[in-house]
Amino acid sequence: MEKNQIHRQVALLRQSLFDQGFIDEQFVQLEELQDDTNPKFVEEVVTLYYRDSTRLIVCIEQALDKNPLDFNKLDSLMHQFKGSSSSIGARKVTAESTQFREYCKAGNGEGCMRSFQQMKKEYITLKKKLETYFQLARQVGPLDSTSRPN
Amino acid sequence: MNPSCGKGSMLTSSRKSSEVVLDQFPAGLRVLVVDDDPTCLKIVEKMLRTCHYEVTTCNRAETALASLQANRNGFDIVISDVHMPDMDGFKLLELIGLEMDLPVINSGHRAVMSADDGKQVVMKGVTHGACDYLIKPIRIEELKNIWQHVVRKRKNEWKELEQSVSIEDGGDKMQKQSEDVDYSSSANEVGNWKSSKRRKDDEDELEDKDDTSTLKKPRVVWSVELHQQFVAAVNQLGIDKAVPKKILELMNVPGLTRENVASHLQKYRLYLRRLSGVPQHQGGINASFIGTQDATFSPISSLTGLDLRALAVAGQLPEQSLSTLHAASFARPSPKSGQPVPMVDQRNIFSFNNSKFKTGEGQLQQPNLGNSNQMNLLHGIPTTMEPKQLAELHQSFENMSNMQASVCQSNSLLMHRGSTRFPPNMGQPLVSNGLPGGLLLRNISAENGRGLGGYASPVSQTTSSAALTFPMNHGPELPGSNSFPTLGSPPGIPSLTQKGPSKEDIPVNSDAKGSSAGGIIPGYYLLNDLQQLQSNDWEVRNVGLAFNSPQNTSSLTGNLENPASSLFVQQGISSGSMRNSSSGGGSKVSYLVEGTHHQNLSSIVNSSVRIKSESVADTGCQNILYTQHFGQEDLMSVLLKQQEGIAPVNPEFDLDGYSMDNIHV
């Protein structure tokens, strides 16, 4: 009973993440890779992502503090960050990264700052949501998910 | 991050691949993944495991190189990110592809800013030898088919090696191997490929031993710096004149022997050929590209990769790669400067579809069939070539002369026997960025398809990323023109046409019509008919290209008559022939249309392709590429005739100055 409820909650939460655009199709790919031999694969990947990308974010922040801004470097850092984010399916984060890169290419320092802040917000939000999601999911065991988001 | 490589699975050096894996292929494929992003690395690793591949991961290019060098046969394919901080992804690509002959797939993000960026990145990968390009985030479906690159490459290399070795060494070594290896069917030989690979590897060692001739020298590791020095020396000497002795002197590296340089040079040449369009083995591909391009091709840029793709498409590539490529937004061929069009004119030629071989064009590389959309090539009916087109062709030929080196390759392209050729990238510009020898064979789109050997389905798809699968396997036998990298000098470019019996499978010509440019370039492959070439086997050597006899058809005729003249149809027409620097009537490029013995040859001569081909037509296989300017009607009739196997051989190729006199059928 309870388990069913939790099951449902997990499913709903998952669906809402898709609906709200926090995650995308790529996340489903990860889910599909998860199996009995590796039942926490998705969570591991996301954890790895957050750990590794923290470093990148710090670098970007440092670079943004410099004056004048080194757009090439910023772009390159963000390129890497974007790659990671897109590989876990972090949609909004990826979108903001793209935006950031556009500003870099245009040499728009202001725009870079703004979009970086925005990106960070999304990044943190996603992290929280995913943490909640994983916690819940752990309670119900392997999800019968992998249903494509509508 | 740990600097070391994590081995997902053991690198089983002891594994005798052929024993274990054959049945389960592609399971057990040994993949090396290089990416500095640990998240991506983990994901890709998991995906590959799910595909039942054996995975080794590295997050640094140097460690990857080190493991590759330590265990040369330990991997079957490499997937490498193009954007890595510690080493340029492209340099790594080049080193791996060149020195180790492993197929390499690039991965990277979709270009954000503009289509051009994406295209450039992809193109760059292609020119450095990548056989595919995967856009991140990578999906498992795309990884499932990577094994095809391995098979293709092995096949091609095998042939290549075979050809070059036999040509250079008299082929005794290779011969025995070739007997054993039956490459006739591409995909079916999977079982063989491993054993072939082993054999090939053994062969390599054998060669090395022979080189040293006496004692076994410690293997030289071609590091980045050493390779750079080598490349610098080669460029300084000129690819034509680069002989091991001189290279060695220029490099001035203590402890390096002439033999080391020689074998590295051989590999480098193969690599260049591959870059240029994978001609040769690819067989048809090369040939095709030359002719078919429409003028609109964008200059050679880029297409090499695409061409390959096209080729791949034509033959074997699954669409997937192409789609990937597309994703890469390989934009259409933006004409790059450079040689452009030599092939372009070819388009017109291609309209011929049949025979147009623009041999020589091999170098053409890129003539991008330009027009990505246009590719009209052959819509079945040869379009008449306007005189100016011929002129253009002519120019292109001249350009080609610049190209050289790869010319040989083009031969292979053209020559392909029967293999239908490559659909010139239809639409996608066959950009050959001027690759040396970039043979872009772009197939000749023989629209006729029918008679002519399968048409290569145009690669229109190539639009996207250039990641062409490089080794395009087209028919099994591709003339070995390779051995002559630079035909340029000898005017008559005798390109080897390998005769190979039509084994070549003509790559599918799926009529890619739809695809971009719509042009599927029917590989001019008359080759199908040319299959007759069978008798030709590698006789390339003997080909005495009779190119030099320009302008008179008489020469052709003469040639046609005697088999001795050995036709070479070089598909790509080695630059040598192309060089017909003599513009105007001068350049006579004899392109031999391969395979088609006799009869077909005439058909091959596409009117559009005006190559002044002096080619000597071997009676046996007349691979004469005539670029004759046939009037449409004439062409049609010719084609039709050919279909019937009646090859009206028009001895009078008036190769001069592209006069499209009708060739009498």
Q: What is the mean pLDDT of residues B273-279?
A: 65
pLDDT digit string (tens) for B94-149? 888 777 778 888 888 765 445 556 777 888 878 777 888 888 888 888 888 888 88
pLDDT at B640 over 50: yes
DSSP letters for B160-208:
HHHHHHHHHH-SHHHHHHHHH---SSTGGGHHHHHHHHHHHHHHHHHHH
Answer whether B38 sits within 8 Å of A52, measured CB to CB.
yes
Cα gap A122→A134, rounded to integer Å: 18
Interface residues from chain A to B (CB-CB < 8 Å) = 26, 29-30, 32-33, 38, 41, 44-45, 48-49, 52-53, 76, 79-80, 82-84, 86-89, 98, 101-102, 105
The nearest CA of chain B is from the CA of A140 a distance in Å of 24
Give the pairing type, strands B77-81 and B104-109.
parallel
Closest-CA residue of chain B to A30: B43
The nearest CA of chain A is from the CA of B608 a distance in Å of 46
**Cis amide prior to B137 (ω within 30 degrees):** yes
pLDDT at B520 over 90: no
pLDDT at B387: 46
Closest residue to B139, CB basis, from A29, A41, A48: A29
Q: At what angle do helices A41-65 and A71-88 cross, to 10 degrees?
A: 170
**Hey, which of B258-262, B326-330, B451-455 has the most confident mean pLDDT?**
B258-262
pLDDT at B159: 81
Top-confidence residue, B572 or B645: B645
Size of interface A-B (CB pairs under 8 A): 62
Q: What is the mean pLDDT of residues B241-254?
A: 84
pLDDT at B142: 87
pLDDT at A116: 94
Any A CB within 8 A of B39 CB: yes
Cα gap A56→B235, rounded to integer Å: 40
Answer whether A49 sits within 8 Å of B139, measured CB to CB.
no
Q: Where are the alpha helices (DSSP H) in B276-314?
A: 284-292, 303-314
Any A CB within 8 A of B52 CB: no
pLDDT at B53: 92
Answer whether A86 sits within 8 Å of B109, measured CB to CB.
yes
3-class SS of residue B340: coil
Closest-CA residue of chain A to B109: A83
Q: Which of the 8 DSSP states describes residue B138?
A: P
Any A CB within 8 A of B213 CB: no
Answer whether A80 sits within 8 Å of B36, measured CB to CB.
yes
3-class SS of residue B58: strand
pLDDT at B116: 58
pLDDT at B47: 92
Give the pairing type, strands B30-34 and B54-58.
parallel
Closest-CA residue of chain A to B137: A87
Any A CB within 8 A of B140 CB: yes
Q: Tell me, which fold does domain A3-31+41-136 have in CATH?
A: Four Helix Bundle (Hemerythrin (Met), subunit A) (1.20.120)
Sheet hosting strand B54-58, strand order edge to edge:
B6-7, B54-58, B30-34, B77-81, B104-109, B132-136
Angle at B169 between CA B166 and CA B175, to 5 degrees: 35
In our burial notation (b when 16+ CB lie closer than 10 A, e otherwise), range B421-459 reads bbbbbbbbbbbbbbbbbbbbbbbbbbbbbbbbbbbbbbb
In chain A, domain spans: 3-31+41-136
pLDDT at A91: 92
pLDDT digit string (tens) for B298-307? 343 344 444 4
Answer whether B109 sits within 8 Å of A33, measured CB to CB.
no
Q: Which of the 8 DSSP states describes residue B279?
A: T
Closest residue to B43, CB basis, from A30, A82, A102: A30
Q: Where are the alpha helices (DSSP H) in B328-473?
A: 345-352, 387-403, 406-415
Answer whether B137 sits within 8 Å of A98, measured CB to CB.
no
pLDDT at B350 over 50: no
Closest residue to B42, CB basis, from A32, A45, A80: A45
Closest residue to A98, CB basis, from B50, B112, B136: B112
Question: Which residues in chain B are contacts of A102 at CB distance < 8 A?
Answer: 112-113
Angle at B115 between CA A18 and CA B433, to 5 degrees: 140
pTM: 0.46
What mean pLDDT is reported for chain B? 54
pLDDT at B232: 87
pLDDT at B216: 53
Answer whether B109 sits within 8 Å of A83, measured CB to CB.
yes
Closest residue to B37, CB basis, from A44, A76, A83: A83
Band of pLDDT at residue A44, cut at 50, 70 and 90:
very high
